[in-house]
A and B are shown apart, each in its own frame.
Chain A
Amino acid sequence: MKNKFRLLFTPGRKLDTDQLIFKKTVISFTVFFFMFGVALFGWMKLRQLPRDQMGTNTVIRSALNTNESIFSSILSDKHLSKSYPKSEAANPARRNGNVGMDLHKMVADFANWNMQVVKSNGDTLHITLADLKKLPKTEVVFNFKCIEGWSQITYWGGVKFADFIKAYGLEKETALKYIGLRTMDEKYYVGIDMASALHPQTILCYELNAQPLPIDQGYPLRLIIPVKYGVKHLKTIGTLVFSNDKPKDYWAERGYDYFTGL
């Protein structure tokens, strides 16, 4: 056998058909198994890569960030989430996450609730629900999409985020790259790119199905942002900040994409 190999792979040697078949087969299968070995090795390396501080494989994280820069380029104020008739909206709407929603503690705090908005000069605005209700109301009926995979047509009302920015003279803050939102108890928090925050369907929401928000849906105020999965629709807003660095994000810290744009 050894001899056969040596003879076949001697340059210049004239081979008969059987020898040629043997030679071609050996070469091809060697390359074939070698490449499968390379692929398997690459896969094992990928699985063992160091994790970033958010616990995510570094290659996966940079792929997610690359996807973000590719697909955020098609994000446009003209691309609206499809609107539906109010009659198609689910009632009651499904409630999923409850991190940062310690209801008993919250009920005690509602009397004093206001949204703290931290401006770039360090000033903090305290905005009440009555203040927000003075601004024009925007209604959104859209197919709410959960990152888990379910979706549901829902009907919300509140202040368009872009209107809120204008009313409170926060245009300078919108030059920054992100907004960050935190729940009243600070246990849940999200970061959102400015373009998505200013999208015309993004609202600071205080109504569901034309009624005040139920406590478990984020009373008194939550975010509704149809260009994102439900994880970004933070309930019971406590604080709003503006930042050029990515504000911390609860689910991104647990391995999910930061952008999660739809």
Chain B
Amino acid sequence: MKKIVPKHPLAIRWFHWINFPVLAIMIWSGLLIYWANDVYRIGFGDTTLVKFFPNSFYSSLKINNRLAEGMGYHFLFMWLFFLNGLAYVIYTAVSGEWKYLLPQKKSFREAWQVLLHDLRIRKGKPAQGKYNGAQRIAYTAIIVMGIGSLLSGLAIYKPVQLGWLCEMMGGYKSARVIHFVLTIGYVLFFLVHIVQVIMAGWDNFRAMVTGFSLEKKSDSSNTNQES
């Protein structure tokens, strides 16, 4: 027998699915801005291993020569990104959802087991619960990253009026690097997230839309409790 169990509250599903397109627009408009002074690279001395970004990347996504447009969209959608994120944090704090989301002492050991399991190195399935150790760490880290983007973004936006914040970020140039690196972090998070969602299967994905998950019951004496 199957049993319908509530998994994700309605509010959290809304915050999640609003954040998805809003963050996509923030990253896109951020790219339009970054193009105007695209100085970041990974390398040593004069040797560049990775350039952010190659010209083919810009031209294929039509990023070139759109700084004004990028700034316009970035400074409109920043409000949605901020308000949605704030609502999520307040909701998780007040509703008690944070109890499932914040990492615990054992989460770090569990996360290691999850990693080994997902890489097919370890056989036994790690403890899952609503979120496993790796998920707790990832979903908390992404909120910390969001706060980081907000603060480093403000530091770049008003470096004189919010001079204290700009200094806290290590100065103007450093705030820009932090803002950029966090964005790369979102893209990496997104890629891993998509793979994990595909691996976890339909029931897990459906829960993020419908809110419920199915529990397979072996004990038939409990079926009457179903509601």
Q: What is the size, in residues, of chain B's interface with A at 8 Å between Cβ atoms?
A: 40
Cβ contact within 8 Å between B210 and A25: yes
- Report whether B163 and A80 are in contact in the complex, using a CB–CB cutoff of 8 Å: yes
- Please tell me if B147 contacts chain A, counting CB pairs below 8 Å: no
Report if A29-B37 is in contact (Cβ < 8 Å); known contacts: A63-B75, A74-B161, A80-B160: no
Contacting pair A28 B209 (CB below 8 A)? yes
Complex CA gap A79/B165 in Å reads: 12
Q: Within B204-227, which residues are at the interface with A (CB < 8 Å)? A: 206, 209-212, 214, 226
Report Cα–Cα, A255/B210, bound state, in Å: 42
Bound together, the chains give a CA A58 to CA B182 distance in angstroms of 31
Chain B residues, CB < 8 A from A81: 159-160, 163
User: Bound complex: CA of A142 vs CA of B21, how far in Å?
Assistant: 38
Contacts of B160 in A (CB 8 A): 79-81, 226-227, 262
- What's the nearest-Cβ distance from chain B to residue A28, in Å? 4
Q: How far is the CA of A71 from the CA of B2 in the complex (A)?
A: 55
CB distance from A253 to the nearest CB of B (A): 10
- Cβ-based interface call for B194 (8 A): no
State whether the Cβ of B185 lies closer than 8 Å to any Cβ in chain A. no
Across-interface contacts of B158 in A (CB, < 8 A): 71, 74, 261-262
Q: Is the CB of A79 within 8 A of B34?
A: no
Do B69 and A75 have beta carbons less than 8 Å apart? no
Does A39 count as interface, using CB distance less than 8 angstroms? yes
- Residue A175 is within 8 A (CB to CB) of chain B in the complex: no
Q: Chain B residues near A257: list those with CB within 8 A.
A: 71-72, 75
Chain A residues within 8 Å of B36, by CB: 147-149
- Judged by a CB distance under 8 angstroms, whether A143 is at the interface is yes
Interface residues of B, dominant DSSP: helix
Contact A151:B172 (CB < 8 A) given known A75-B161, A257-B75:
yes
Query: Which listed residue, A29, A39, A145, A262, touches B210 by the CB 8 Å rule?
Result: A29
Q: How far is the CB of A60 from chain B (nearest CB, A)?
A: 4
- For A21, the chain B residues whose CB sits under 8 A away are 2, 4, 212, 214
Are A63 and B214 CB-contacts (below 8 A) given A148-B36, A149-B33, A256-B68? no
Q: A17 touches which one: B2, B68, B76, B209 (CB < 8 A)? A: B2
State how many angstroms separate the Cβ of B175 from the closest Cβ of chain A. Answer: 10
Question: Knowing A17-B2, A63-B75 touch, does A255 contact B163 (C-beta < 8 A)?
Answer: no
The answer to whether A74 touches B162, judged by C-beta atoms less than 8 angstroms apart, is yes
Q: C-beta contact mask, A177-197 vs B, less than 8 Å → 1, else 0?
A: 000000000000000000000
With a cutoff of 8 Å between Cβ atoms, the chain A residues found around residue B69 in the complex are: 60, 255
**B163 x A79 contact (CB < 8 A):** yes
Q: Compute how far the CA of A151 lies from the CA of B68 in the bound complex, rounded to whole angstroms.
A: 18
Is A57 engaged at the interface, CB distance under 8 Å to the other chain? yes
**Is A56 interfacial (CB 8 A cutoff)?**
yes
B131 at interface, CB cutoff 8 A: no
Whether A150 lies near B37 (C-beta < 8 A) is: yes
Fill in one digit per residue for B164-189: 1 if any A CB lies within 8 Å of its CB, else 0: 00110001110010000000000000
The answer for the CA separation of A63 and B75 in the assembled complex, in Å, is 7
Q: Which of B4, B21, B76, B167 has the most CB of A within 10 A?
A: B76
Q: Which 5 A-B pairs have the closest CB atoms?
A: A149-B37, A255-B68, A28-B210, A60-B72, A63-B76
Task: List 4 extra interface pairs beyond A43-B21, A149-B36, A151-B172, CB under 8 A.
Answer: A17-B226, A35-B17, A63-B79, A262-B158
Please report B residues at the A interface, Cβ cutoff 8 Å.
1-4, 17, 21, 33-34, 36-37, 39, 67-69, 71-73, 75-76, 79, 157-163, 166-167, 171-173, 176, 206, 209-212, 214, 226
